[in-house]
Structure 1
Amino acid sequence: MLRQICFAVALLTAASAHADEISVAVAANFASPMQKIAAEFEKDSGHTIVASFGSTGKFYAQIKAGAPFEVLFAADDETSARLEKEGDGVAGSRFTYAIGKLVLWSRKEGFVDDRGEVLRKSDFQHLALPNPKLAPYGAAGIQTLQALGLLDRLQSKFVTAENISQTYQFVASGNAELGFVALSQVYKAGRIAEGSGWIVPPKLHAPIRQDVLLLTRGKGRSGPAALLKYLRGDKARSIIKSFGYE
Structure 2
Amino acid sequence: MNHNLVQFDHVSKNYMKEIALDDVSFQLPPGKVIGVIGPNGSGKSTLLKLTAGLLRPTQGKVIVNGKPAKRRISSEVSYMPEQDGCYPFYTVTEAIKYYNSIYTDFDEGKAKEMLDFNELSRNQEVNNLSKGGKVRLKMVLAMSRRAPLILLDEPLAGLDPMIRDSIIKGLVAFVDPSEQTVVITTHEVSEIEPALDMVIALKNGKIVKLDDVENIRGMYGDSLIEWMKEVLGPNSSSLKTE
Give the TM-score normalised by structure 1.
0.26
**Structure with more of its chain in helix, by fraction:** 1
Give the TM-score normalised by structure 2.
0.27
Pick 1 or 2: higher relative contact order, CA cutoff 8 A, min separation 6.
1
